[in-house]
Each structure stands twice: as C-alpha cells, then as structure tokens.
Chains A and B, each alone.
Chain A
Amino acid sequence: MTTTTTTTAGGIQAVKPTVSSHLRDYWARVRGGDLGSLPAVLGLLVLFLIFSTARTDTFLSALNFANLFNQGAQVTFIAMGLVFVLLLGEIDLSAGYASGVCGAVMAILLTNKGMEWYVAIPAAMITGIIIGFSIGLLVAKLGIPSFVVTLAAFLGFQGVLLTMLGGGKNVSITDEFVRALNNDNLSVLWSWIFTIAAVVGYAVVQLNRYRRRTSRKLITDPLGIVLLRIGGLAVLLIAATLVLTQERAINPAINSLKGVPIVVPIIAVALVVWTFVLGRTTYGRHVYAVGGNSEAARRAGIPVDRIRISVFVIGSFMASIGGILIVSRASSVDPNTGGSNILLYSVGAAVIGGTSLFGGKGKVVNAVIGGAVIAVIDNGMGLMGFSSGQKYIFTGLVLLAAASVDALARRRAASTGNR
C-alpha cells in the first residue's frame, strides 16, 4: 500500500487518495454516522430480491417495472420538494393536499373552463408557488412553527379541495397532452437517446470536474472511483432501458406498450435541476447553512427569512407538479387526490432516502431513492396479496427504521466527534 503525499491548495499537506484509501475513507464516514442513502439503497436491493423471488412472474415483469415509475411519481415529486423544507429542519404537512388542490385547479381549468393545457398546467404551478409563499411568510415572518401552519393548511386545503369539487364530485380530464405525462411512453428510439444522453452527460460532468481539479492541483477523487461511478450509472440505466423497451402489453396487437415512461425524464430533469441548485449555487449553499446553524448564517449576512420562505415555495411548487402527475395518471381528480397516505409517504420517502429530520443534511436524490423504496413496498406487497392494512403497518415500520437510523447516526456522529 503506497500513499503519495502531495502538497495542494496553497501548501496544505494532504495524502493523495487512491481507490482503496477512498473506499476506506467512505467506510470510516459511514461508521462515523454519515450514512447518506446507503441504508435506503441496501433496503431497496433487499426488497427487490424478496419481491422478485416471491412473485417472479408479476413483480419482475416489464409491465410492473414501468408501473413503479408511474405510481411513485407523485410521492417522489412531493418528496423532492420536502427535502428543501426538511433541510431547514422544518416540515410541510400540507404538501399532500396542496398537490391535490393544484391538480384540481388544472383539472377544472381544462374540463370545466375548456382551457388548453399550456394555460392549465402553469396555473396549477403558480397555485403551488402562492401556497408555498403564504406558508413561508407565516413561518418566517410571524414565527409560527411550521408544524402548526402546515397542519392548519392541511385541514384547510382538504376543505378547499372539497369545495372546489362541489362537495365531492369527480372531475375527469380528457386532454391528451396532460394524460400522456404520466401514462404514455417514449418511443424506443427516444428512450435510447434519453438514456445515452443521461450517461454521456454524467460522464462529461464527472470527467470535466476531475480534469479541472487535477490541473489546478486540488485533491480529487481517484480516477478509478470516478470511472466506477460512471460505469455503474451506465450499467444501471442501460439495463433499465433494455427492460423498458421490451414489449409489455398483455395484448400487443391491440395496444403496443414499450419504451421508457415519459414521467422518467420528467423526474430526471427535476432531479438534475434541483441537485444543481443545491450543490452548485450560492442559494443551495445558503440553504445548507441556514439548516446547519441559522445564527451563523445570519451573521454571515445570509437573508435567513428569505431562504426560509423560498424552501416552502419550492416545496409547494414541487407538490403542484406531483398533483399534475397524479391527475394525469388517474385522468381525474376527486376529493381524496393528494389525501390519505400521500403526504406521509412523501415525508417517508425523503427520510428513508437519508434526509435528516434534524435539518442540514440531505440531497434531492435521497427523495428519488426513498420514493423508489416506498413505491416498491406498496407495489410488491400489493402483488403478494397483503391487505392495505398490512401495507401501512409495514411502511410505517420502514419509516420508523429510517428515522431510527437517522437518530442513531446522529448520536454515533456526536460520539465520534463528527457532530
């Protein structure tokens, strides 16, 4: 084992990382309580193995695999927004019904007012932004705990949704564009173009970063790890695309079903955009700072109140997209759209994926991984013939396990000086 010492970044001595030392560092961080998405990824693998052995024919079918994305889309979108809220140590209990209200705004504009999708969809998104801004204002400026504000909003929006739908009527939509969003698939050609673009894009970003940092003599992850990451993503995406481009219709003669669901690139775009915002912009840095130590952030001149309002805006905006997608999926909106377990599943998705409930720690990708865990549990247990009651109990236990992992990791981190 050779270690090369290098002098970087203005004379600070550092050990140049090798592949094995990188892995050892990673393992040390995990032992020190910095788990990230690891438990969720492992959990996802285990669940996948269990369900695919128990229900090889149904769970492992291409049809069901595609369904997972469509079913999980709403929860995943709400969870991505909630990551921002949770990063500040706040909570948004109203996100579920906010998504329902936004979905209803779209459906009513489309069906009852006869408007086009390019009016109705932005209207739903703006509704989400207004909802988030109001909640954020109450939390940041009046200082009401977000738990209480959003609990009130949770009840309120439930009523708003009922009233909008005239006391419980069901509004259907027929707009082809909106229905396609969470029902249709990309053509096989576009599926592959999308997959290859994603892999190449990731590779370019990673390699460019490696090249830039090496040329400036800054410490980088070893090239082996960078290539491993790119390779891993490529294998994963290509395998998934191979499955999804198979014919999966029960009767292909009537209605051919193949290609990556359209919702997948929508999720991917949201994931990339928000990951960029959190990781590469001043705004994202300030969100982490306020979540980590709001007093330090205030002294550093960061507008803490504005950051606090903005995360609720992002939260409700993402909830509105979740609402649009669920209305698209069901082709209708009813008083329970965004109700029942949607909110709890979304919070669960963010937390299971590794976002800390204590603020300051989390990534947008956590929401996607957590959303996948939730979708797999819901779908897999359904296929195995478990009742709804049993599914809720199991999902509750998984959420509890994730929250315990979060709390234990924090204690572990505190005891290893890794606060």
Chain B
Amino acid sequence: MAATPLLELRGIDKSFGPVQVLHDVGLNVYPGEVTALVGDNGAGKSTLVKCISGIYTIDSGTVTFDGKEVAIHSPRDASALGIEVVYQDLALCDNLDIVQNMFLGREKKSGIVLDEDTMEEMAGETLRSLSVRTVKSLRQLVSSLSGGQRQTVAIAKAVLWNSRIVILDEPTAALGVAQTAQVLELVRRLADNGLGVVLISHNMNDVFAVSDRIAALYLGRMAAQVKASDVTHSQVVELITGGRSGNLGLPPEKPSDFVDITPGDAQ
C-alpha cells in the first residue's frame, strides 16, 4: 500500500459558537484505498467531511494534500484540488437526465451552445470506466432511475472530474441488498482505479466488505485509525460506542471532558 497519504489532516479543531464539535482530529487518506469513517450519530463525521469539502472552514489544524499544505475555504477550492463529495441525499435534479446531471454546473460548451454530444460521450466513457452497464439510456431522466442507479450517477458525477479523492456519505443507507452490493462494488472499483476513497457508513458489514482502513470518531475525537484487517467487528463497535477498545483508542476520559460536548451535526 502507498506509504504517503494523499490527504493528511492534523489537529483539526472546529467549534460552532461555544460548542466544540471537533477536537484535535487527524485523518489520513491513501490513494488506492478505501478509508471508512465511522462513528455514532453526532460524533462529528459530517462536520469533518464538510471541513474537508470546504463548506466549513477549520478553526485550527493543518490540511496537507499531496505533500503540500493547503487551505480549503470553499467548495470550489476543494474541487480544484480534486476532492469531490457524494452527499447522502444525492443532490441530483430529478427533472434532468443522466448526462445533464453529471455535468451540472460544469457544462461543456462550444461557443455559447451546450456541447451535448461531447458531454454524452464523456459521461458514457466515465460510466464504462466504472463498469456500469445498467442504465438503459444516458438520456433517461434521473427520476426514472432506481436508488442504486441514482447513487451510481452521483458517484460517476464525482469521478468525472479527474478527482483524486471521493468522499461518500452513507451511499448505501437507502438501498436494498442487491443495490447495496452493486454500489459497494463500485466503491471498491474507485479505489482500485487509484482514487482515495472516504466511505462514511453506519453499517459494519459494508465497512468490512470494502475498506482498507477504518477511522473511528468518538464525540469529536479521532479514537483510532487502524487497518481493517487488524481489527474485529466488535472492536470497531467498541471504538464507536466507547471511544476505546483494549489498548486501541482514546485514553480513559475524565468525566469533565463530556461537559462541553454537544454533538452539533444532524445525521
């Protein structure tokens, strides 16, 4: 596995007013690997992701991307670096078709006219590179797609832009068994294509099925970041629920640590 992380977070703090949501969080994302980000509701997963994607700015800490320290102030900064987020609620427009959704906000033009043909070809190539062959037509409206297909389009949209890191927020939350398998396979393929993948999930089966590393957040602190092969199912659950498991995880807390922590992010 690659020795140097593509994205490295160190000592990230983030507060909303008096409420500190992230305490000294560190995270490494390696190219070609799936890093699962787990944690209970309110542990700070979504906040951390929003800090990486530029929706929130961090209070302190450093972000190193590809060996260089960077500052991410807006979603545009993040996309410029090649960081794309696939949101839980997908953020697709039902009334547009697959191609239109994949290029939304970044349409190809020739002159002032939209270059539909080039966009359609590029969308087709991207889907093929992900071995997606389940859509009937690229000109199908997204509203007519199944949940798994919609997730696929959202993921394909994220990889269309030569992205280096793709962050997936609960991609299988609303899916059935077969569709979940399909999406997980796609997640694995993203990493195999050399991307750094961050997978946020509540589902331990999903996490162990595809991830190389597991990062567990507990009440705004990074409890542990370990290789998936080094831990068991129940150890990860302990990390999520208690912040520690055996000699892994946070040192035993003083009760006072809990006083000021009000989980601030809605899951």
State the A residues within 8 Å of B (CB): 8-14, 32, 212-213, 216, 218-219, 280-282, 285-286, 288-289, 291-293, 295-297, 299-302, 360-361, 413, 417-419
Contacts and interface: CB of A to CB of B under 8 A. Distances in A.
A419 B141 CA distance: 9
Contacts of B127: 10, 12
B87 A299 contact: yes
B124 interface: yes
B117 A216 contact: yes
A61 to B, nearest CB: 42
A275 to B, nearest CB: 13
B11 interface: no
A419 B100 contact: no
B252 interface: no
A418 B117 contact: no
B124 A12 contact: yes
Given A32-B144, A286-B105, A360-B94, 13 more contacts: A10-B122, A10-B124, A280-B114, A281-B113, A293-B93, A295-B89, A296-B91, A297-B104, A300-B105, A301-B106, A302-B105, A418-B141, A418-B143
A217 to B, nearest CB: 9
B66 interface: no
Nearest to A12: B124
A49 B247 CA distance: 86
Interface string B39-81: 0000000000000000000000000000000000001100100
B131 to A, nearest CB: 9
B114 A417 contact: no
Contacts of A413: 143
Contacts of A293: 91-94
B10 interface: no
B105 A218 contact: no
Contacts of B135: 12
Contacts of B136: 14
Interface of B: 75-76, 79, 87, 89-96, 100, 104-107, 109, 112-114, 117, 120-128, 133, 135-139, 141, 143-144, 146
A235 B95 CA distance: 32
Nearest to B85: A299
A282 B139 contact: no
Contacts of A291: 95
A360 B100 CA distance: 14
A379 B123 CA distance: 50
A297 B75 CA distance: 13
A216 B121 contact: yes
A318 to B, nearest CB: 20
A388 B91 CA distance: 48
B144 A417 contact: yes
Contact of B96 (A11, A282, A289): A289
Contact of A11 (B92, B107, B109, B124): B124
Nearest to A282: B107
A419 B93 CA distance: 11
A218 B91 contact: no
Most-contacted residue by chain A among B76, B122, B124 (CB, 10 A) = B124
A293 B137 CA distance: 22
A302 B128 CA distance: 27
A33 to B, nearest CB: 10
20 contacts: A8-B124, A10-B121, A10-B122, A11-B124, A11-B128, A12-B124, A12-B127, A14-B136, A282-B107, A285-B114, A286-B105, A288-B96, A289-B104, A293-B93, A301-B75, A301-B79, A302-B104, A360-B95, A361-B95, A419-B143
B97 to A, nearest CB: 10
Given A280-B113, A419-B143, A296 B95 contact: no
Contacts of A297: 93, 104-105
Most-contacted residue by chain A among B92, B93, B113, B138 (CB, 10 A) = B93
A306 to B, nearest CB: 13
B104 to A, nearest CB: 4
Contacts of B75: 299, 301
Contacts of B138: 9, 12, 219
B91 A300 contact: yes
